[in-house]
Structure 1
């Protein structure tokens, strides 16, 4: 029988080793003290990344994943239990400047009442990133120029997360619970949000080359009265109003009033979208469904320098009475499919990806961002392989895991872990002296 071995831990391609073992050849590991450890078997685990489990006397595991350069997320969430690559997108990763990293992953399958483990393989500086928002989210929508989620929950500023920094100043409106997280409650008298007059919000042009989509999620406190939802301009521009007869009205100021026949006659949550297209026509979508289109042949007038307001229309004629949970302004005409996806899911915007709306599922309650612990790269130990590392324990009570991974320069890998418990129960203090009722003389 032929004999082969790995000299000084040099690596024989695992595919070749697998073929040799399968051909009844003997294969050995040669240790640093020149001892031979015979490999009993090599099992090829079904997986597109070609994982091999090498069985030797000391239970050494040798793993090769494709070219060993690509860092990626993987998990065991599919019904077969096999590990598989999952799409991910890196929103931000600036550990040097802020110690913050935000990763979004798309888990393809979650089974009820079972644990799902997701792994992150990383650490190779030569790895090419597979970060891709388009494969991670349901849809990526372009053209957002203003996005106010109203998720701050406190304070007097409604931040614009479109990347254009058109932060709104809250005047009178109060924080409340919305359909998605926090929202703003408007009293119908004098509450509104001033979003400024930056050029990025000027989505009308006198030559008709600029388009407009307005998206809003709201719930009125009463019907049968006029509600100003948003507007930009007084002698030009646009405004969006629900009239006293509960019809939706979009106005290109001093040009045309688009009164739709569609009525919203209840006080439930609604998702309303107005699309003003290149033909000067205006389409109405309510709760993801196309309702009607009004055709017109004259372009709206630019409102350059005019302020965008939410919760009223600019002339103070109508104020909104109820709760608004998010407004977005686009400089393009959204499609019916895009609007349907926005209604049936959740549109996420972030300054880390300007001008984009990332459509994803929404869970109630939403998962919170949690620290997954610190990692320390140990590049040097003493002559016995020992290393001492001190870390700050988490503040929240619970059981935590410490895991140590070791990989030598030739790719031999091993790991171990232990757990520790953080107990935040306050100590009980007993005073033995002085006794209750005792007198302590003053000096």
Structure 2
């Protein structure tokens, strides 16, 4: 056998590996579809830097920097601790949110994400939290948005999903135009149901994570990797975000820097 044939085999192997890498990368989530990505790895200060193209840096009030699920995270006390920002780039068709959370208790609703609304009968443009009707313990899930008339009415409530002192990956998909809602806990679909289709009515005002403004409902625990999207995340997307993190499942590129790898972002 000639030396040429021996050279071809490594070339074919490298080509196959390259195509494999490209195929894996083709499933990455497009960061342009996000309007908030808080990795929460700053470790100090009062700003949660946004890695989405929108530049929605969050103002941190009262929270402590601690170890998160991956790298850094924020510990909230369930009272007035919150991360909020003007709701720039929020669409009116689909809102998906993901985060990691570890709860200290379920005495009150834990607010994963709250987008306030202007110009409607309901102050809630989007709402995603723990909740149990008649609780506590508020260890179920509550999510929804304003309906076509601008009132609060397209909402879900499902029973116990969480345990204390355990990291949970949580994802909610509110597809107003498609008329469907999904909730995933730890990568598993726990709710999938239709609802009244129609654009979310109102003008997004302030986006908050941790506390509902002026209502005293807040997360008592630790959060990490909070992100919001204007697309309906699929089950595969959610599982990729859970298993690989934002930098693995999406091409996270902090402003003014080259793309970073998961290992460099989460050391």
Tell me the secondary structure at the aligned position of residue 140 of structure 1: coil
Q: Does 1:172 align with 2:62?
A: yes
Q: Does 1:139 align with 2:42?
A: no
Question: Whole-Å Cα distance in 2 between the matches of residues 256 and 366 of structure 1?
Answer: 37
1:329-361 Cα shifts (integer Å, max 9, x gaps): 1111111122122222222121479xxx99x8x
Q: Does 1:265 align with 2:178?
A: no
2:174 corresponds, among 276, 286, 293, to 276
Q: Is the 8 Å Cα contact of residues 179 and 195 (structure 2) preserved in structure 1?
A: yes
Distance 1:257 1:364, change over 3 A: same
Cα drift, residue 190 of structure 1: 0.5
Question: Whole-Å Cα distance in 1 between the matches of residues 38 and 25 of structure 2?
Answer: 20
Distance 1:299 1:255, change over 3 A: farther
Per the normalisation by structure 1, the TM-score is 0.49
1:40-439 → structure 2 map (5 Å cutoff): 44=4, 46-48=6-8, 84=14, 87=18, 134-135=22-23, 137=25, 139-142=27-30, 143-198=33-88, 200=89, 202-204=90-92, 210-234=93-117, 235-243=123-131, 244=136, 245-253=138-146, 254-277=152-175, 278-297=177-196, 299=198, 301-348=200-247, 349-351=252-254
Cα drift, residue 364 of structure 1: 11
Tell me the secondary structure at the aligned position of residue 246 of structure 2: strand
Cα drift, residue 137 of structure 1: 3.6
Question: Whole-Å Cα distance in 2 between the matches of residues 183 and 172 of structure 1?
Answer: 14
Q: Give the gaps of 5 or more residues in structure 2.
A: 118-122, 147-151
Per the normalisation by structure 2, the TM-score is 0.78
1:37-85 Cα shifts (integer Å, max 9, x gaps): xxxxxx558233889xxxxxxxxxxxxxxxxxxxxxxxxxxxxxx9846
Question: Whole-Å Cα distance in 2 between the matches of residues 294 and 261 of structure 1?
Answer: 15
Q: Is the 8 Å Cα contact of residues 47 and 84 (structure 1) preserved in structure 2?
A: no
Further displaced range: 188-197 or 300-309:
300-309
Question: Whole-Å Cα distance in 2 between the matches of residues 174 and 295 of structure 1?
Answer: 39
Cα drift, residue 173 of structure 1: 0.9
Question: RCO higher in 1 or 2 (8 Å CA, sep ≥ 6)?
Answer: 2
Q: Is the 8 Å Cα contact of residues 248 and 264 (structure 1) preserved in structure 2?
A: no
Q: Give the gaps of 5 or more residues in structure 1.
A: 1-21, 23-42, 52-81, 89-107, 109-132, 205-209, 368-443
Distance 1:169 1:135, change over 3 A: same
Cα drift, residue 291 of structure 1: 0.9
Q: How many aligned positions are there?
A: 242
Q: Is the 8 Å Cα contact of residues 255 and 300 (structure 1) preserved in structure 2?
A: no
Question: Whole-Å Cα distance in 1 between the matches of residues 254 and 124 of structure 2?
Answer: 30
The alignment yields a C-alpha RMSD, in angstroms, of 3.3
Pair member with larger Rg: 1
Question: Whole-Å Cα distance in 1 between the matches of residues 170 and 202 of structure 2?
Answer: 23
Q: Is the 8 Å Cα contact of residues 113 and 128 (structure 2) preserved in structure 1?
A: yes
- Tell me the equivalent position of 1:425: none
Q: Is the 8 Å Cα contact of residues 40 and 225 (structure 2) preserved in structure 1?
A: yes
